[in-house]
Structure 1
Amino acid sequence: MVKGTILVFGAHPDDMEIGAGGTLVKLHEENYDIYPVIGTVPGDASTVETRLKEAEESARCFSKNKPIILVDDPHQLDFNRKLIGKIDEIMVRIKPDTVFTHWLGDSHQDHIKLTQSVISASRNNDMDILMYERTIPGTITNASFKAQLFVDVTGQFEDKIKALNMHFSQVKKYGDKLIEALRGRAAYNGYFIGKKYAEVFEIIRIKKW
């Protein structure tokens, strides 16, 4: 029996695995129905084809559903009525209990615009909305992420890395430093809850009782 329905947004392929991969694997193991939504796939035709295949392979690690692509043209990933409408249609159709998306303080404008659109589209719904940490690689911002919800992913961290490694073109591009950075961040977060690894989220909205 499905325990709940999850919508997870990432502006580009591999974003959601970087930010919430361990949590997604954990929820998948607990029989949640997870729908990955990718904002857009940048690059020329051959690059887009490669990255779409990688995204589909990666999604199999934490979902039974193929990724949904919001817009074909990266320049159309903007905070506007059209994108909000597309996201709203997905939310109405899937009826998620929980939504994961980028942090509003992220350094990448695509990440910010997508989350702004997600929040606007969810205004008439009662779903939980959680933002995952700043995407790596990225640059420093003057905003401060509020780690309000900790998820123990000690048992799922290697599966997170497995999912991320499916994005071979990007892992090859950024090298071992990306994996080392994610492992270090997860260990740092885990320290605060007495676990080896954890992922953390900032809350936009959450229901209880």
Structure 2
Amino acid sequence: MMLPLAPARAGEPLSVLCLGAHADDIEIGAGGTILGWIAAGVRLDVRWCVLSTAGSRREEARASAGGFLQDAARADIELAGFTDTQFPEESREIKAWLCELRARVRPDLVLTHRSDDAHQDHRELNRLTWTVFRDHLILEYEIPKWDGDLGRPNLYVPLPPNVLERKIDLLLSHFASQRSKDWFDAETFRGLARLRGMECRAAGHYAEAFHVRKAVLGLRSGA
């Protein structure tokens, strides 16, 4: 039996820190979850951070984040300039950047890459996230790619069909630089969401999936 867990109800605040190595990472891995919470009436306070944004990818990242966070209660977008594919070599500088960020934010929830993602930048950002935000609830999102590195997630967020379609529309409209990739299309995003929706028996048939390494289960106080 699955016990549904809700980080916040309609009208309640929720502070989320989203960390992505590259433009489109957060959107692919957790964009539907963010859109779904906003659509459900959660008062979402989002800090959206993309660490590698060079050339046209910088404007893509900013425009896409603005589209996904258009109706959030609060949205702060931060774009850094670390080097694509070189995160392990720039680990010291990235850790210092994350430590400075931690001094400014107090998120209820952190979204980041999976620990065993095949991309070296994704793995390094995951490792540093766990080093810097060790007292936070961290959900690790997944990104489909030709490496075939999808794992066995243990947390699911069901997505209504309209929310999934909104996610796909935003991805396809904002990331012109990725359209030449044979996996970057609506079929891939919809197919993975359908598979994850089947795994958690989502009423709307679709879901995004996450990996949770460590969590504390408590009881809500109040009436």
Select the structure that is richer in helix: 1
- Render the CA deviation track for 1:63-116: whole Å, top value 9, x for unaligned: 253531233433652363331221122122111110111111111111101111
Q: Within 5 Å, which residues of 2 pair with 1:38-117?
A: 38-41=50-53, 48-63=54-69, 64-74=74-84, 77-78=87-88, 80-117=91-128
TM-score with structure 1 length normalisation?
Answer: 0.84
When structure 1 is superposed on structure 2, of 8-17 and 156-165 the one drifting more is 156-165
When structure 1 is superposed on structure 2, of 165-174 and 153-162 the one drifting more is 165-174
Indicate conservation of the 8 Å contact 1:100/1:130, yes or no: yes
1-structure distance, mates of 2:152, 2:30: 15
Structure 2 partner of 1:147? 153
Q: Is 1:120 aligned to 2:147, yes or no?
A: no
Q: Is 1:35 aligned to 2:47, yes or no?
A: yes
The alpha-carbon deviation at position 152 of structure 1 amounts to: 0.8
| Structure 1 residue runs without a partner (length 5+) | 42-47
Indicate conservation of the 8 Å contact 1:40/1:77, yes or no: no
Quote the sequence identity (%).
29
| Structure 2 residue runs without a partner (length 5+) | 1-10, 219-223
2-structure distance, mates of 1:205, 1:163: 31
Q: How many residues align?
A: 198
- Render the CA deviation track for 1:119-153: whole Å, top value 9, x for unaligned: 11112x2x2101012x2333024xx7232111111
The alpha-carbon deviation at position 53 of structure 1 amounts to: 1.5
Q: Which has the higher contact order (CA 8 A, sep 6+)?
A: 1
2-structure distance, mates of 1:168, 1:4: 28
> Aligned-residue CA RMSD in angstroms?
2.2
| Alpha-carbon distance change, 2 to 91 in structure 1, aligned in 2, over 3 angstroms | farther
Indicate conservation of the 8 Å contact 2:85/2:121, yes or no: no
Aligned letter for 1:189?
Answer: R
Q: Is 1:172 aligned to 2:183, yes or no?
A: no
- Render the CA deviation track for 1:132-175: whole Å, top value 9, x for unaligned: 12x2333024xx72321111112410121122124332342225
TM-score with structure 2 length normalisation?
Answer: 0.79
Question: In structure 1, the residue corresponding to 2:148 is in which secondary structure?
Answer: coil
1-structure distance, mates of 2:75, 2:50: 12
Indicate conservation of the 8 Å contact 1:34/1:62, yes or no: no
